[in-house]
Structure 1
Amino acid sequence: MFTGIVEERGSIVAREDLTDAARFTVRGPLVTSDAGHGDSISVNGVCLTVVDILAGGEFTVDVMGETLRRSSLEAVGPGSPVNLERAMPANGRFGGHIVQGHVDGVGTVESVNTGENWTVVRIAITGSLARYIVEKGSITVDGVSLTVSAVGPDWFEISLIPTTLTLTTLGAAAPGVVVNLEVDVIAKYVERLASIGVER
């Protein structure tokens, strides 16, 4: 489990395309400082398993085709910046919200409005995700825990402070950029429980 508090902005060093899969080499000196084989690291909000720890603060991960198709990792390659977070230890501080690293889908940046003290980013979404997103609720965008500041029928907005813009890849968000989205898992559980109750 993660919290959506990005620890560092890393980068993709190499990509090897395999049969319905890919192997990425990722640079992240902080997240590899105590990582080992089999550990979980969130890469742009996608929970991935460390295969190897390499020299120079790099690690490798295998990404199956299903994950590539459901996330923005399909389009990343050498030089792409990525948000990185280690799994939260049992005795760790819960700084964001419950983040599983299970991406529900992608959104597309529709507009970026920069103000004096914060930036408002509007993200277009599909109808299937819209029902889980509420104003003042939590959402994860490319692995970053954020509060929804406004909602429309097929979009939502997030307001980003300078720290978030500086320390994460969202500082480079521009219209047309595709981002990974994970909605609040509690909403999905409530929907499932409600549907079971109706069925019975």
Structure 2
Amino acid sequence: MFTGLIQALGTIKPVGGDFWQITCVSRSETIIQDLTYGDSVAVDGVCLTVEEVLTDGFIATASPETLRRTTLAQVEIQQRYVNLETSLRVGGKVGGHFVMGHVDGTGRLISAEQTASSWEMTFAASNNIARYIVPKGSIAVNGISLTVAAYESELSQFTVAVIPLTYSETNLSHLVSGSWVNLEGDILGKYVEKFLSPGKLDHQEEITPAFLAEHGYL
């Protein structure tokens, strides 16, 4: 589990094969010193397991499913920086929101406009991700915890306001129009969807106002 607060930038070098072994080099000594064998680390929002710690990075393996669902296999990402975050420690601060590192799919940058106090960035999302997007809700873009400022359901597009610190210290500043990004919807929305979907509960009982009243919620 992560919080969506990026700790460092790095670069990746895939080895290839069905299971890609990825060597990640970080510009930050702090994040490397915090890693040990078997740790989880988010690479552009993708949770990977550290198999070997190097002096300037680490080695992890990405499965075919991970490569299919994320941007890690794209040539573009191999030519730019990736966001890095180590896993949340018990008792640690949660400054963003709970990010699982289980990417739901990819989206692409539509536009990025600088304002007086921030950058307004608009992204397009696929339908399987768009259903979890709500105004003022949380979303992870390349592992970055961001708040949805606006959402256009007809276009499946959402806009976020990015403060200068986040823009400069993450790889958002390296994106151009059309760049693909990893997206993860808020885990709370997924559980709400499951519980409210008729016929999907184990006991097959739909949650209705009557059900809530019977169980003391109204």
Common topology (TM > 0.5)? yes
Correspondent of 2:178 among 156, 176, 179: 176
Q: Taking structure 2 as the reference length, what is the TM-score of the superposition?
A: 0.86
Report the Cα offset of residue 156 of structure 1. Answer: 0.3
The Cα of 1:115 is off from its aligned counterpart by 1.4
**Ranges in structure 2 where 5+ consecutive residues have no aligned partner:** 206-218
Q: Distance in 2 between matches of 1:22 and 1:30?
A: 26
In 2 relative to 1, CA 131–78 (structure 1 residues): closer, same or farther, beyond 3 Å? Answer: closer
TM-score by length of 1: 0.94
Asked if the contact 2:71–2:182 (Cα under 8 Å) also holds between the matched residues in 1, the reply is yes
What's 1:44 paired with? 44
Higher mean displacement: 41-50 or 189-198: 189-198
- 1:87 to 2:82 alignment: no
Q: 1:15 to 1:137 in 2, by over 3 A?
A: same
The residue aligned with 2:188 is 186
Give the structure with higher Rg (CA).
Answer: 2
Give, in angstroms, the shift of residue 15 of structure 1: 1.5
User: Deviation digits for residues 92-151 of structure 1, max 9, x if unmatched?
Assistant: 111110100000011110111111221111101122221110000000000100000000
Distance 1:145 1:79 in 2: 23
Partner of 1:70: 69
Residue segments in structure 1 that go unaligned for 5+ positions in a row:
none
SS in 1 for 2:31: coil
- Note the C-alpha offset of 1:34: 2.2
Q: Do structure 1's residue 9 and structure 2's residue 16 form an aligned pair?
A: no
Q: What secondary structure, in the 3-state scheme, does the structure 1 residue paired with 2:148 have?
A: strand
Q: Distance in 1 between matches of 2:187 and 2:8?
A: 24
2:129–2:184 CA contact under 8 A, matched in 1: no
Please list the CA deviations of residues 141-193 of structure 1 after superposition, one character each: whole Å capped at 9, or x if unmatched.
00100000000021001111110111000012211000000000000001111
For residues 92 and 119 of structure 2, what CA distance do their matches in structure 1 show?
A: 30
Greater displacement, 109-118 / 176-185 = 109-118
What is the DSSP-based 3-state SS (H/G/I as helix, E as strand, rest coil) of the residue aligned with 2:51? strand
Relative to total residues, which structure has the larger strand share, 1 or 2?
Answer: 1
- Taking only the aligned residue pairs, the percentage that are identical comes to 40
For residues 97-176 of structure 1, the aligned pairs below 5 Å read 97-153=97-153, 154-176=156-178
* RMSD over equivalenced CA pairs, Å: 1.4
1:5-56 CA-to-partner distances (Å, cap 9, x unmatched) read: 00011112x22001x221111012322112111000000000000010112x
Q: Secondary structure of 1:117's partner?
A: coil
Question: Residue type matched to 2:140 in 1?
Answer: T
Q: Distance in 2 between matches of 1:78 and 1:121?
A: 22
Report how many residues are paired: 197
1:37-89 deviation per Cα after TM superposition (whole angstroms, max 9, x unaligned): 1000000000000010112x210010001101100111156543110000010
Q: Distance in 2 between matches of 1:48 and 1:85?
A: 11
